[in-house]
Structure 1
Amino acid sequence: MAYLDHAATTPMLPEAVRAMTAQLAVTGNASSLHAAGRRARRTVEESRESLAACLGARPSEMVFTAGGTESDNLAVKGLYWARRAADPARTRVLASPVEHHAVLDAVDWLAEHEGARVEYLPVDAYGRVHPDALRAAIERDPADVALATVMWANNEIGTIMPVRELADVAREFDIPLHADAVQAFGQVDVDFAASGLAAMTVSGHKIGGPYGIGALLLGRQYAPVPLLHGGGQERHVRSGTLDTPAITAFAVAARHAAEHRATFAREVGALRDELITAVRAAVPDAILGGDPDPAGRLPANAHFSFPGCEGDSLLLLLDAQGIECSTGSACTAGVAQPSHVVLATGTDRELARGTLRFSLGHTSTGADVAAVAAAIGPVVERARSAGLS
């Protein structure tokens, strides 16, 4: 099998598996005061310190969650509620239209249930939000903006956002900016302190850690209203028993991702470039999605639109030949709608239906690229023939 869907999830690293397995045999609730609890607490706090160091953050800024979706919801809803409570006039939420649904659905929920007025920021043909666009949106009425949210790098087309510049604009108007950095961590230099962000989302299973663990990096001056109430763990922001085995494995995977990021970007980026060249050679009218400049996109991402094809048909035909990829976000797989990300870039609906995302990772090889190179031409031809019949 050629697995090219690492953006959906990537295989756990052996060292993360070993770390998690070892902790599964250890008893202790990190909130308990006895010896077993203290041992668990020490493990959690050592992991917190390690993760914070990998992300350019203070340990006190790390709030553990059950993953990227919870972190996004906590940031968007929690910051909105906190800002509105302090100033009822702050009901406007600024968001990019290319966000993951964990953000888009959260802001839409706020609009439907909590009186939020959602404004989607314009993006260019590569799906990028520019600082001037954020500034223009804020300046229309800075006093009514509750928060802004723009992802660090897009999960479908791979475009990297100018996060530092966007954060500079938001900070100028005292508006918290949140970024979903789930795809960015491990592929580009992610430094929370240097970014100027108020909040940032990361997830374990995208970097070789386990499912069901993530974190919201949260500036100490921000206190979002909790989604969950209970024991008051994690700064009273996220209650719930801490998952010591998953946190330990997350920290191990994060350390590996940080230490090997430059090598990963160079080696996987080279494979990505080979894949792009191969697809274009086999299907000359294939259209590369996202920023064509390798410096402006994630090194592991290659996204294409194939005129005259249905993405699901392409995916299933490739799958039958042992090549696993996606039409976009795994969270919306099987939904018979063109990608909201691709549509936001100005692509017409018919072309947006014929997309594939190839995402590489730490297990990707030249053989995977060769498999795509051999299969993609005949697969596209067959999909087009089926569409005409």
Structure 2
Amino acid sequence: MTSNFKPSGTRLWDSLMEFSRIGGTAKGGNNRQTLTDLDGEARALLQRQAEAAGATLVLDRVGNMALTRPGRDPSRKPVAIGSHLDTQPTGGKFDGVLGVLVGLEILRALDEAGIETEAPVMLINWTNEEGARFSPPMMGSGAAMGIFPEAEVLAKTDSAGAVFGQELSRIGWAGAADPAALQDLEAYFEVHIEQGPQLEKLGLDIGIVTHALAQHWFEVTVTGENAHGGSVMAGRRDAMMGAAEMILAIEKAALAAGARATVGRLTVHPDSRNVVPDRVWFSLDTRHDDEHKLAALAEVLRAEAAAIGARRGVTVAVEDFWLSPATPFATTLVDRLRDSATARKIAYQEMPTAIGHDAVYCARRVPTVMVFTPCHGGISHNEAESITPEWAEAGLLVVADAALATAGVAKG
């Protein structure tokens, strides 16, 4: 590294506190949902500060912000650092924005030191990573990497009927560039809080993320027959009891397979206190390090569904909703992060991510890597989410070293 390249952990922390005031909540968290006026305000602040560090904005048609500091060699692809500014309704002030402001601090440090890189260095703010207002999550990176059709993203509606594309235009952040242009990167780095307790428990400064777990999501519908709540229980075709047994079977099967399974949403029909439900729907999210074991778990669950249905006189339909393969990150970039952490005596471990991030989609098209910082108690998507300035600085420094090593310093 050049001796005058000195990314500032103090300046990064000050930036985090500055952005936390945009959508700040009374409990110390953040509510800055995508394509709201507050999202637009945060975007404008990011643009001003990145442009002050010598970057130029290109805005694409789904609202992804690419702020690029030019390099000496016009034939080189950009080396990008990024994440997202949007939050959950009761989100914390570090999820997503930490990775964006790490990129901003790297641009500032390069500008402050007067360093010319060989490749351009780019800061990316991806649109709608959270999926809190418009679902599914990671729409901006998904559209850029060819996972979601652009027209489908722009047509999505929120619970109030607002249309994604119209809201993007309303807040003034609809661009003209092709999102697919962001596939043309030399590398992509993302810093994110762990959203889990492992790093803090082990007393480590960072996690170097080597790959993303495979995910398989389902929608499960249990169909039975209505009956009066006062009727005898024998012979009922009770969809709720069938769903309860199926959910317990999911837990048992997932634990046996070393997988992770979550039932996050459930709806009941007719939703009356004294009527035996005839239909229960619920969501199911399963994750595993091994795609083959995840596929085997799906078969076990379908077999359990058939057996429960036969015993209870109901049908249990397990329908595929979404599948994301296990995704490796670039070994060359992992090596650069490891070298930096070792040189700086920053304590780390290598680990997977079980959670979807923009980096997971990027890794399908672009050499990509992630760094996790610890967060207190593993708490995230919660106003109580917190980290330390030292953890933020550790993530900044290893990514700054690796990004500069990737971009190269111009000679002469």
Superposition TM-score, scaled by structure 1 size: 0.28
Which has the larger strand fraction?
2
* TM-score (ref. length: structure 2): 0.27
Larger-Rg structure: 2
